Amino acid sequence: MNLTPAHSFATRAVHAGRDDLGDLGVHAVPIDLSTTYPAVDCAGEAARIEEFASGAQPSGSPIYARLHNPTVARFESALAELEGAEAAVAFASGMAAMSACLLATAAAGKRHVVAVRPLYGGSDHLLGSGLLGTEVTWAEPKGVAAEIRPDTGLVVVESPANPTLTELDLAALAADCGEVPLLVDNTFATPVLQRPLERGASVVLHSATKFLGGHGDVLGGVVACGEDFARGLRQVRVATGGVLHPLAGYLLLRGLATLPVRVRAAQASAHELALRLSAHPKVAAVHYPGLAVDRPGQMDGGGALVAFEVDGDAHKVVAAVELITPAVSLGSVDTLIQHPASLTHRVVQASDREAGGIGENLLRVSVGLEDVDDLWADLSRALDTA
């Protein structure tokens, strides 16, 4: 099937990356597990090795699995289709994808990054640690333009933010960035609810482990961007080896087919839980974009995560749930609850956590596909008994 912009997002999610299956005479996507491939024409392959090392994707034999994998390439082309990007480059994890973005810009002589908190705790730690030789300046959204320097290679934001679910005006930020690429972590929204490239961003990053995979059984990361930036990312991937396993690529491509259905179903339940939490006497505050009166309007809905502040001991609430799973991560078919200050954002300095609204009484729930009444019965009982 040849996809066109006239096809709906749901149709493209099902068929992207699968356009040649009819010609192959198969219905399910094949998985290529080869680590190496025959290279009879050594002289010809030498030239192709140089192309791979430069970040290109020449046709023909992949030569070696670190250079290219056909199954992973299917997932990349599908994600690029859904984000409206020229290209996508997949990695072994979301943090490997973020690292590659920083390394690629540093290799071009741009080691300075402007970032807006809150970000995922791992991203915050990576930027602030200097492990990759990056210098970071933290800014408020409206102060980004003032912090950009000649050696600024990226502006990094997350919207909705992890874990407070704060939305940013991506179009305004992109305008403030000027020629500096704006990288948006779109893990929480997914391309179902938000496509940052349409708002002027240059780079879109996903922890594919989350909603894209959708079942808590695959680890991966992916970056959607223009072909020029993609070449730099592939250079990093070839050199460092942070490749996505082909079985993971297969599972992520399969996850994309049901992504719109899963996200919208989970979003409907999340909105209902947010409303009920707002009325509970032991909940001090609820953070959910769908309840906000004045919002930038980036997402098509409020998303599938809810954050709330407990009037009491948040740890006891986590310990009291029975149906909901106490665990980090998000975007799975089952509902998860976690305490960000103890887990996902523990590597962020306490003062920075507090400044970003990540207090000791904040909990984050990733809503799954269970019946919303069952989820509320479990959550409200945990709040009452804790």
Catalytic machinery residues? 66, 120, 185, 210
DSSP codes of every residue in 176-191: HHTTSPEEEE-TTTHH
CB-CB contact of 312 with 320 (8 Å): no
Give the separation between CA 222 and CA 161, rounded to whole angstroms. Answer: 18
Q: Which two tokens stand for residue 203?
A: 């780079």
CB-CB contact of 262 with 191 (8 Å): no
From residue 141, alpha-carbon distances to 4, 71, 114, 224, 384 in Å are: 36, 38, 10, 22, 38
Give the separation between CA 152 and CA 180, rounded to whole angstroms. Answer: 7
Residue with tokens 């050199």: 239
Phi, psi of 358 (to 5 degrees): -100, 80
- Residue 175 one-letter amino acid: A
Consecutive H or E run containing 287? strand 283-287
CB-CB contact of 232 with 110 (8 Å): no
DSSP state of 29: P
Burial tier of 335 (Cβ tally within 10 Å: 0-12, 13-18, 19+): buried
Question: Measured in whole angstroms, how far is the alpha carbon of residue 192 from the centre of its chain?
Answer: 12
Phi, psi of 20 (to 5 degrees): -100, 5
Give the separation between CA 347 and CA 125, rounded to whole angstroms. Answer: 6
Which of 234, 277, 260, 10 lies closest to 104 in space, CA to CA? 234
Give the separation between CA 296 and CA 294, rounded to whole angstroms. Answer: 7
Residue 218: CB atoms within 10 A of its CB come to: 20
Which of 213, 207, 215 lies closest to 186 in space, CA to CA? 207
